[in-house]
Amino acid sequence: MDSVADASDLIIGIGDNKARKMLAERAASRGARFTTALHPSAQVGIGVEIGQGTVVMANAVINTGSRTGIHVIINTAATVDHDCEIGDFVHLSPGVHLAGNVKVGQGAHIGIGACVIPGVRIGEWAVVGAGATVIDNVAPRSTVVGTPAKPVKREGAPQ
């Protein structure tokens, strides 16, 4: 495929954040146009900004004043409370709950059923394990698990 300029608007529905980023950049360089997809049962509050290429799945909720970057996945029944900022290429797995004013850095992946308390920062390309309860900031490129969430590894660091 040399050009996608004549194609319909696209969404890249790949759950792997790095792969989604690579494919989005490749498609954009070939003239792709991206759209958003909101499931009919999703609830989006007043003043919410949703970036191009973003998918909001069934029963997801994004509350007032929140903002997503581009190519974000907000999966089934995930909730994003007021004034959250979700970076580009983030994946919020099913049942994730972000309290108000949470900031999620580019490429982060928050696992199924994880909860994040108000005002916490999740660093770029960080991973939050399934079912984790995040009560402290998460460093970029680190992985946290458990309740309360604790670091288990950091990219490039010894394990």
Catalytic annotation, residues: 82
Which helix (H) or strand (E) segment holds residue 21: the answer is helix 17-29
What are the Cα distances from residue 97, in Å, to 11, 22, 43, 76?
24, 27, 14, 11
Which helix (H) or strand (E) segment holds residue 150: the answer is strand 150-154
Q: What is the chain's length?
A: 159
Whether 49 contacts 32, CB under 8 Å: no
Q: Which residues contact 3 (CB under 8 A, 6 or more apart)?
A: 30, 31
Is the bond preceding residue 151 a cis peptide, omega within 30 degrees? no
